[in-house]
Structure 1
Amino acid sequence: MNSPFCESAFSATIRPIIATSVDGLIFIDNHLLAIDSRNGYLLLINPKNSVTKIVNNSSWQDFIGAKGLCISENKLWFTSREYIYYCSIEWEKDNLVITSKPFCAFSLSYPANGIAVWENTIYITTQKTGHILVYSLDGTAITKFYAPGIGAENITVKGEEIWLCDSIEQTVYCLDRATGDVKYSILTPFESPTALAFCYDEKTGKDILYVAYSDQEPYIRDNPNAEPNHELLYRDRTFIHPLHFYFDEENKYTLSNGFLLEMTYVEEISPLDHLELKNLEWRIALPTESARQKIKSIEAVGLPYIEEDYQGQKVALFKFPEFNTDERYVFGWRAILEVWSIKYQLKPRDCEALPPLSPDYESKYLVDDDNLAMNTDVILRAAEDARGSETNLLRKMYNIRNYVYDHLTYGIKPHIDTPDIVLKRGVGSCGEYLGLLLALSRLNGIACRTVGRYKCPLKVLHFGIPLVPDFNHVWMEFYLPSIGWLPMESNPDDLEDSNIYPTRFFMGLSWYHVEMAKDVPFETLKSEGELINKETTSIGQLAINHVSFTIIEELKPTGSEEG
């Protein structure tokens, strides 16, 4: 099957300079209308150059706290707290004019977020109840649907579909307008999506979906009155960016906005002690290919390597006949990769009649092969508690994830403890979250494995700048017979300020994850054919690793379902 992607860059990002947040979005007559809830500004934005002006110069106070925007005939609708408002508008010579004060159409029992009007029907999202409320124009309740996410959601309607974005889930959902059933969901390339709208593209004849993002970013301020003069501060970051995606209905996943990355991984020999080794073999895993990651090119850095193949997984072998720590080397690889966000669209009912796990997978992926403490009383008891009475594999995996999140909080540790110690302590790093997830899953008959290895720093649209990750990262894949391997993050969905966990990275992975060869160690040392004991000589005692990413360009899906 041909790749659904091309390598061309596409529509420019829209950056309304004065906006502190974007809480509602509409395209109207080749302009973009947005609401800044904090300032009460109704903003008219030129999408071609981001030039922005305030429409409600004298009535901005009426719009403080306003969220959600939609237009029906000559009425502009929005929400504010638990009230539904509209005001009259006119379009005059490339300028939008508000011709009446906001009028309260009706009120709800709980605060509203997004609003969309389709003919004589109003759709309203409310985070408090977790519903999409359906009303008539006169304020009569018609029905309600369950909202798929857990965060604040904005909404728009397009034909027979409801589209909404969820700020916590980092996801856009496409729902059937008549039933409220989710048709598919799409991971957004950036965090905190707050509004969305469709724009017709005359060149392609399709509707392009634009999503607004509003959050804060850290920056270093040079303060001449302070000592030291550099201070860490935060500032508002708001921008609007097209969301392109490809829905593979046959394989049940969506791919969204991709990026062309350059990744370099090298080791610099910098030993702590003097050491000599004969016939040293230094192996480093290479990036792998998957449904969301493609290798464009890969080359050696510093020293040549021999490429080894382990059942389709590639590893670079560097040979040192006489390794002496008095000598200095830099060696590794440089890869150019296409990476995409992926979200699988599986439901428990898709997993009701799965075949049994094969004996090969049982012997490989259900065993304690990495100090998982699977025979300890505390882990055996936890595996039973986490499962409950569930028999469906997908629900069982979901229950196990939530059990781990209920019992752990995230914290960086200098070393990785076994899952029994981690569970008693209640605090774990990503690797320790992963160890506990692996132990509980395998004891419940779910084949799973460790994958990773690095995440590109999430510097929003910083192209051509070398980016260095602060640390490595691991996550897991679990296996459903006849379906395949599915990704699951180890800890990022465990939000400390919430007792309800998002599902964005349950069967989903963002573009900034780079996958290395699977089922093989990332890095190993052998001397004269024997593995070197990590307790006596570790890689960290011999070398310093250097990891660098450069975002080259953004990639656009072709043949996508953009409209």
Structure 2
Amino acid sequence: MKRVLAILAVSILPAATAGAVLPGRVMGEIPAPGRNVTGLTYGKGLVWAADHRTDTIVGIDASGKVVRSFKSPGYRPAGLAFDGRQLWNVDVLQARLFRIDPDSGLVTRSVPSPVQRPRCLAWDGKALWLSDDAGRTIHRVDPEDGTTIREVPFPSKSVDGLAWDGRYLWIADRLADKLLVMDTDHGEVLFSVNAPGPHASGLAFDGRMLRVADYQTDRIASVARNGDEFLLVEKEKKLWVTFTHQLRNFGPDELVDVEVMLAVPHDSGYQAIGQLRFEPEPAEYRVDRWGQKVAVFRFPRLAAPGKTEIDMIARVQTQRMWFLFYPEQVKPLSRIPRSIRQRYLVDEPKYDIRNPVIRRAVAEAVGRERNPYWIVRGILRHIHRRMHYERIGGWDVAPKVLERGSGSCSEYSYVMISMCRAAGVPARYVGSLVVRKDKASYDDVFHRWVEVYLPGIGWVPVDPSRGDKPTEAERADSFGKVTADFLVTTEGGGGSEFLGWNYNYNERYKCRGRCRVEVEPIAEWSPEPPGKSGK
């Protein structure tokens, strides 16, 4: 029986337990039957490999022993597929597809390729899938005459292997060192996993696991297609961060009753907090209606010119987080706990979920879809097609942002949350400080994204602004995947009584007369503790 991790209503699921199997895990490997494998498939209990150096097609058993071998029909064999009875082989030079009896090695059919530079091949039970390096497309091909039934663009940088697992098309990309899972009905990548080697050159599915040939290591790896858990957390960066909040009063009059609120980060799938302190000490800690803890600092008077300065200093281990699951693992909307529906399906001023603009967008994006997974992916696709990233100042309400067609990360998040809630999918946001690539860096922009609740899975991160990219693989990385470049400080479902619609920080004050106030928040990252290396 498949083991599913316990769902937490207020946080991301815990990481996979030690020894857990997840999709993409390497389960074993055997030697390749040659040094130039350019195609791979599975059939009749054997792994079949095409070698373009020796112009042979070889069948090997589970140990890697050669059981059958015969000459390929052409002089540049590439992709292989098995249709349940016979093999199919692509010849690159002739641009033809050959059907071959695996027992005798005799060619039983030859059809022209519908593309100029054919290479990789797979069989989906009724038709062939064929990659075209020239057009950067993947074609579903009629095996009777070689005509194209439909085509989809390359989802990533390169296509170096194809395999059909009975439901989805797997794609090997040697340039990105990834294996991608594509739903061909929707034309979208579900997720990707790391390739087991540096140069994938063939891909097959044996009914249980994927087989991946590597041109550089001359090995064939067995890779898990399914898992008994679905969340992978990888520890990555250990850094110090000092988040400084300065409030300056340029006057000419004084401020009174100044309050500064800083969001307090905690351990989660995103991060592990080693040390955390504030300078000065906060007056008190409070918890808002979303469960967010905040540190409250009070300054009764602030003359002009004058400033307040608060530091939050933390030792952080940031973590890379991948959700690896299939749409069919998501339960119906009716399985959402009542407590989550009551908190994360309600309207908020920034969302305006009953606005006709939002209603029309949801109807167009979702249609009659019932699976919560595809509801969310449809909304994400709709946003990517109609918006582009632009910081123009301020955070408008979701309908206005969608009509304008551009927005910041916060505005993308408002639109995503609004549409998800209108469609019946609970959604909330998280806010963060960002590691700007280098270990010693600073951040004064920050970042916000969305979490959606998928029944049977839990809270899953979705980053609509970062997923606004040109390829399907890049867009898929915005769903269920977060890099180790963030310290999440804030979790919220809407306006907070302490942070308002801000994240990371907020402030309140009163002025006796005329005051010009400026707030400067900045996060300084360093591999060394504060005070060393000039940080």
Pick the TM interval, shorter chain.
0.5 to 0.7
Do residues 348 (structure 1) and 318 (structure 2) align? no
Q: Is the 8 A contact 2:452 2:462 kept in 1?
A: yes
Aligned partner of residue 373 in structure 1, secondary structure:
coil
Deviations 1:173-213 (A, max 9, x none): 599xxxxxx9984379xxxx98569xxxxxxxxxxx99x9x
Shift of 1:156: 8.3
Shift of 1:444: 0.9
* Equivalent residue number for residue 237 of structure 2: 259
Q: Is the 8 A contact 1:402 1:501 kept in 2?
A: no
CA 1:264–1:149 in structure 2 vs 1: closer, same or farther (change >3 Å)?
farther
Question: Counterparts of 1:503 and 1:401 in 2: how far apart (Å)?
Answer: 10
Do residues 542 (structure 1) and 518 (structure 2) align? yes
Q: Is the 8 A contact 2:432 2:489 kept in 1?
A: yes
Deviations 1:291-338 (A, max 9, x none): 231111112245556444557643222222333343333212011112
Aligned partner of residue 416 in structure 1, secondary structure:
coil
Counterparts in 2 of 1:433-512, with a 5 A limit?
Answer: 433-458=412-437, 462-463=438-439, 466-469=440-443, 471-495=445-469, 497=470, 502-512=475-485
CA 1:353–1:361 in structure 2 vs 1: closer, same or farther (change >3 Å)?
closer
Question: Counterparts of 1:281 and 1:360 in 2: how far apart (Å)?
Answer: 32
Q: Is the 8 A contact 1:285 1:517 kept in 2?
A: yes
Deviations 1:18-46 (A, max 9, x none): xxxxxxxxxxxxxxxxxxxxxxxxxxxxx
Q: Is the 8 A contact 1:113 1:153 kept in 2?
A: no
Aligned partner of residue 465 in structure 2, secondary structure:
coil
Shift of 1:396: 0.6
Q: Is the 8 A contact 2:434 2:485 kept in 1?
A: yes
* Equivalent residue number for residue 193 of structure 2: 186
Q: Note the residue ranges of structure 2 that are not aligned, 5 or more in a row.
A: 6-13, 19-30, 40-49, 55-74, 78-90, 96-113, 122-128, 183-188, 202-212, 217-222, 530-535
Aligned partner of residue 468 in structure 1, secondary structure:
strand
Q: Is the 8 A contact 1:150 1:166 kept in 2?
A: no
Deviations 1:386-437 (A, max 9, x none): 2211111111111111111111122221222222222222222222222211
Do residues 293 (structure 1) and 271 (structure 2) align? yes
Q: Note the residue ranges of structure 1 that are not aligned, 5 or more in a row.
A: 7-69, 79-83, 89-102, 117-122, 134-140, 176-181, 198-208, 213-244, 554-563
Shift of 1:485: 0.9
Aligned partner of residue 398 in structure 1, secondary structure:
helix
Do residues 362 (structure 1) and 349 (structure 2) align? no
Do residues 276 (structure 1) and 216 (structure 2) align? no
CA 1:373–1:301 in structure 2 vs 1: closer, same or farther (change >3 Å)?
same
Q: Is the 8 A contact 2:387 2:407 kept in 1?
A: yes
Q: Is the 8 A contact 2:155 2:471 kept in 1?
A: no
Question: Counterparts of 1:342 and 1:324 in 2: how far apart (Å)?
Answer: 46
Counterparts in 2 of 1:16-27, with a 5 A limit?
Answer: none
Question: Counterparts of 1:312 and 1:374 in 2: how far apart (Å)?
Answer: 23
Deviations 1:435-473 (A, max 9, x none): 211111111111111212232112xxx44xx20235221
Q: 1:410 aligns with which of 389, 395, 412?
A: 389
Q: Is the 8 A contact 2:331 2:455 kept in 1?
A: no
Q: Is the 8 A contact 1:344 1:508 kept in 2?
A: yes
CA 1:448–1:333 in structure 2 vs 1: closer, same or farther (change >3 Å)?
same
CA 1:274–1:478 in structure 2 vs 1: closer, same or farther (change >3 Å)?
farther
CA 1:546–1:475 in structure 2 vs 1: closer, same or farther (change >3 Å)?
same
Do residues 150 (structure 1) and 123 (structure 2) align? no
Do residues 375 (structure 1) and 354 (structure 2) align? yes
Do residues 164 (structure 1) and 161 (structure 2) align? no
**Which amino acid is the alignment partner of residue 155 of structure 2?**
I
Q: Is the 8 A contact 2:180 2:191 kept in 1?
A: yes
Question: Counterparts of 2:360 and 2:191 in 1: how far apart (Å)?
Answer: 36
Shift of 1:492: 1.8
Moved more, 441-450 or 429-438: 429-438
Question: Counterparts of 1:414 and 1:353 in 2: how far apart (Å)?
Answer: 39
Q: Is the 8 A contact 2:436 2:442 kept in 1?
A: yes
Question: Counterparts of 1:383 and 1:76 in 2: how far apart (Å)?
Answer: 47
Counterparts in 2 of 1:32-111, with a 5 A limit?
Answer: 72-73=33-34, 75=36, 86-87=52-53, 104-105=76-77, 106-107=91-92, 108=95, 110=115
CA 1:312–1:414 in structure 2 vs 1: closer, same or farther (change >3 Å)?
closer
Q: Is the 8 A contact 2:332 2:455 kept in 1?
A: no
Aligned partner of residue 548 in structure 1, secondary structure:
strand
Q: Is the 8 A contact 2:249 2:306 kept in 1?
A: no
Do residues 389 (structure 1) and 368 (structure 2) align? yes
Aligned partner of residue 435 in structure 1, secondary structure:
helix
Aligned partner of residue 417 in structure 2, secondary structure:
helix
Shift of 1:113: 9.9
Question: Counterparts of 1:341 and 1:166 in 2: how far apart (Å)?
Answer: 22
Question: Counterparts of 1:5 and 1:443 in 2: how far apart (Å)?
Answer: 35
Alignment coverage as a number of residue pairs: 394
Deviations 1:345-377 (A, max 9, x none): 232212244544444433422223242233332
Aligned partner of residue 329 in structure 1, secondary structure:
strand
Question: Counterparts of 2:384 and 2:302 in 1: how far apart (Å)?
Answer: 45
CA 1:195–1:301 in structure 2 vs 1: closer, same or farther (change >3 Å)?
farther
Question: Counterparts of 2:415 and 2:269 in 1: how far apart (Å)?
Answer: 27
**Which amino acid is the alignment partner of residue 281 of structure 1?**
E
Question: Counterparts of 2:238 and 2:228 in 1: how far apart (Å)?
Answer: 26
Q: 1:524 aligns with which of 478, 503, 506?
A: 506
Question: Counterparts of 1:111 and 1:338 in 2: how far apart (Å)?
Answer: 49
**Which amino acid is the alignment partner of residue 513 of structure 1?**
F
Counterparts in 2 of 1:169-318, with a 5 A limit?
Answer: 171-173=178-180, 185-186=192-193, 195=199, 249-256=227-234, 258-274=236-252, 276-301=254-279, 306-309=284-287, 313-318=292-297
CA 1:76–1:507 in structure 2 vs 1: closer, same or farther (change >3 Å)?
closer
CA 1:271–1:250 in structure 2 vs 1: closer, same or farther (change >3 Å)?
farther
**Which amino acid is the alignment partner of residue 293 of structure 1?**
Q
Q: 1:339 aligns with which of 310, 315, 318?
A: 318
Q: Is the 8 A contact 1:246 1:254 kept in 2?
A: no
Question: Counterparts of 1:149 and 1:550 in 2: how far apart (Å)?
Answer: 39
CA 1:330–1:373 in structure 2 vs 1: closer, same or farther (change >3 Å)?
same
TM-score, normalised on structure 1? 0.57
Shift of 1:71: 7.1
Q: Is the 8 A contact 1:187 1:510 kept in 2?
A: no
* Equivalent residue number for residue 205 of structure 1: none
CA 1:542–1:5 in structure 2 vs 1: closer, same or farther (change >3 Å)?
farther
* Equivalent residue number for residue 209 of structure 2: none
Identity within the alignment, %: 18
* Equivalent residue number for residue 98 of structure 2: none
Deviations 1:451-510 (A, max 9, x none): 12232112xxx44xx202352211100112453211000222222x45897311212111
Deviations 1:113-171 (A, max 9, x none): 9989xxxxxx99667344899xxxxxxx9xxxx999811346589xx9x9934767x85
CA 1:87–1:448 in structure 2 vs 1: closer, same or farther (change >3 Å)?
same
